[in-house]
Amino acid sequence: MRSPRTRHWRREKSLPYLLLAPALVLLAGMVYPFGLGLYYSFTSYWLQYPNRFRFVWFDNYLSLIEEPLFVRALEFTLGFTLAAVVVQVGLGLAVALFLHGRIPGRSVIRALMLLPLMIPPVITALMWKIMMGSTNAGILNHMLSFLGVDPVNWFGSMQGAVVSVLIIDTWGNLPFVALILLGALQALPTEPYEAARVDGAGPAAILRYVTLPLLSPFIVLAVLFRTMDSLRIFDVIYATTAGGPNDATTNLQIMAYQYSFQWYQMGKGMAQAIVLLLLVVMVSYLLMRLWNRASESTS
Amino acid sequence: MTSQAVSYQRSVRNVAIAAAAVLLLVWTVFPFVWILLTSLKSPGDILSVPPKFVFTPTIDNYAALVIGEQRGQYSSTRPDFPRFFLNSMIISLGAVALSVAAGIPAAYALARFTFPLKGALAFLLMSFRFVPFIAFVIPLYILYQRVGLYDTHAGLILAYQLITLPFTIWMLRSFFMEVPLEIQEAAKIDGCSWFGVLGRVILPLSMPGISVTVILGFMFCWNAFNYPLMLAGRQTFPVTVGAIQFISYEQVLWGQMAAATIVAALPQLLLSLMVQKYIVRGLTMGAVR
């Protein structure tokens, strides 16, 4: 977008700032507490023991390295994000390619796929909690029994809990990836396809050498959004496993929540929150660069 | 290959496609169907093994949501669901109204003016989409306790600006930028001030975009769970936090929880069908059209 010509408005140099002022005041009101929180992360702030409050420099951060739960939470955060992105983007791409073909009832499926996407994630979690249920009465185990699968202890076992959270998160967010990629597929230019067909390329070659390269900026975008959201997943875990069993589904956000709102160690909780924030900033920076490169190479 | 073999191959292919379509449909819709059925079951039917598809429906669970009792027995946990629903409405509408009021001029500035730090500011707003909420909610909790905003609608409306304000500005900016510059220039030549251009040209022409932004912003507020979990109390819980109140240490009230999830999801189901063309655009803050 080229910048507008603002001939006789140019004198009013302060105008854009005036227009932005209300929004900036509101945001400043929210960023100020964040600054306060950053300060607290360097203190021993413990809500129940206000007189123990003192400035401890990097103690909260350094103590994290020796904390076994932190290492496990970091591992789970990264591992879950990797798994969620691979599963959701992989399946999302498959669903998008599938719906791009001539499928009966495509518009109905497309409209219905919006519903899991737009209901509250915590409600999604509760719906699946009901379906996974107690081991015997859950409809999901009942359905799996027809396939010869033994009842799964969804939330009770460490592996089961991780898989359950992944399934629930995938149900809610698969449509996001699928709809982005379906929209992109339907907007692709037709010339490269005609050229490939003239050259005698089969469906597999067309997918590999035409569709995927053209789609790559959108795939990277889907990866970017899904990565950011998976690093910070909270609602689904809180409502189903609350981080358990045996901390198997405790990610950094759940851990920071436990430290600050169950044990009221605000200083430590805030330090964990800052570590998560830095992780998110680092990963988003890398993915943004990847996105710039992907969109430059196709345009 | 004979024509018979070709037609056989084609029908196998058609069956496979139909099966995949049905699978996708069931995966998407079945959870809603099952929760709706569960919400209409009596406690005995809910716990039956194997699960029942055919049963005598009852509206007890919905009645319990409204009046807090079930067949004369008061349940041990008694979430005040009508109040939670009203809270969700108040907070979501308030947050969106505030965001749109502050967001329209801000989006106009970002769409139609050039000024130093514009790019940095736009990027800063975008980055709010990716911030872990816990980094904001810990200090907000401490601060709200001190200044009396804890467990108030106003406090939640302010906190929700972290969700809606950056979103509103980015969405409105992308809609404002779609208004052709020529019309703006013509209005200027006719003597319109910046305010006239905004009020007489940009706003009327981007009305559909503003409606979409309002609806999506409302939906994101309705979905919010983590900010109210920490900053709201029993007086101001929205439906999302209200729905988990059916899980207590003694028991899970499955039927009432199912009814609550249906009620909490219902506005979203209706609204998302209204704005379906714009949902992807909204979720990516305008990055994907």
Kindly provide the ipTM of the predicted complex, given to two decimals. 0.90
Cβ contacts of B45 on chain A, cutoff 8 Å: none
- How many CB atoms within 10 Å of residue A9? 17
On whether any CB of chain A is under 8 Å from the CB of B54, the answer is no
pLDDT at A138 over 90: no
Give the mean pLDDT of chain A.
Answer: 89
pLDDT at A8 over 80: no
Residues 128-147 of A with CB under 8 A from B: 128, 130-131, 133-134, 136-139, 142
pLDDT at A135 over 60: no
C-beta of residue A267 within 8 angstroms of C-beta of residue A40: yes
DSSP per-residue codes, B4-58? HHHHHHHHHHHHHHHHHHHHHHHHHHHHHHHHHHHHTS-HHHHT-SSPPSS----
State residue A36's pLDDT score: 92
On whether any CB of chain B is under 8 Å from the CB of A200, the answer is no
- Tally A–B CB contacts below 8 A: 264
Q: What does each C-alpha distance from A272 to A57, A67, B24, B225 come to in angstroms?
A: 14, 11, 39, 20
Q: Is there a contact between A234 and B134 if contact means CB atoms under 8 Å apart?
A: yes
Residues A156-166: what's their mean pLDDT?
Answer: 93
User: What phi and psi, each to the nearest 5 degrees, are found at residue A9?
Assistant: -95, -10
Q: What does each C-alpha distance from B144 to A254, A263, B233 come to in angstroms?
A: 21, 19, 12
State residue B86's pLDDT score: 95
- Distance CA(B201)–CA(B179), nearest Å, equals 8
C-beta of residue A154 within 8 angstroms of C-beta of residue A164: yes
Q: Which of A95-109, A158-172, A182-196, B236-250 has the largest mean confidence?
A: A158-172
Q: Is there a contact between B132 and A276 if contact means CB atoms under 8 Å apart?
A: yes
Residues of chain B with pLDDT under 50: 76
State residue A20's pLDDT score: 92
pTM of the model: 0.91
On whether any CB of chain B is under 8 Å from the CB of A278, the answer is no
Host H or E run for residue B187: helix B181-189
pLDDT at A10 over 60: no
- Distance CA(B223)–CA(B235), nearest Å, equals 18
DSSP per-residue codes, chain A? -PPPP-TTTTT-TTHHHHHHHHHHHHHHHHHHHHHHHHHHTTB---TT-GGG--B-TTHHHHHHHT-HHHHHHHHHHHHHHHHHHHHHHHHHHHHHHHHHS--TTHHHHHHHTHHHHHS-HHHHHHHHHHHH-STTT-HHHHHHHHTTPPPP-TTTSHHHHHHHHHHHHHHHHHHHHHHHHHHHHHTS-SHHHHHHHHTT--HHHHIIIIIHHHHHHHHHHHHHHHHHHHHT--HHHHHHTTT-STTTT--HHHHHHIIIIIS--HHHHHHHHHHHHHHHHHHHHHHHHHHHHHHHHH-
State residue B256's pLDDT score: 87
State residue A11's pLDDT score: 53
Host H or E run for residue B153: helix B153-176
C-beta of residue A255 within 8 angstroms of C-beta of residue A243: yes
- Distance CA(B97)–CA(B214), nearest Å, equals 8
By Cβ distance, the residue of A126, A183, A277 closest to B280 is A183
pLDDT at A3 over 50: no
Using 50, 70 and 90 to split pLDDT, how confident is the model at A141? confident
The alpha carbon torsion through B247, B252, B255, B260 (nearest 10 deg) reads: 0
- How many CB atoms within 10 Å of residue A66? 8
Cβ contacts of A20 on chain B, cutoff 8 Å: 105-106, 109-110, 121
pLDDT at A6 over 80: no
State residue A2's pLDDT score: 43
User: In the structure encoding, which two tokens stand for residue A101, read together?
Assistant: 């073909």
By Cβ distance, the residue of B51, B114, B143 closest to A33 is B143
Q: Is there a contact between A13 and B115 if contact means CB atoms under 8 Å apart?
A: yes
Residues A253-260: what's their mean pLDDT?
Answer: 95
* Residues B43-53: tens digit of each pLDDT: 888 888 788 88
Query: ∠ CA B177-B181-B186 to the nearest 5 degrees?
Result: 145
Cβ contacts of A15 on chain B, cutoff 8 Å: 109, 113, 194
* Residues B138-173: tens digit of each pLDDT: 999 999 999 999 999 999 999 999 999 999 999 999
Residue of B nearest to A175 (CA): B28
What's the one-letter identity of residue B47?
L
Range of weakest confidence among A132-141, A242-251, A272-281, B256-265: A132-141
Cβ contacts of A18 on chain B, cutoff 8 Å: 105
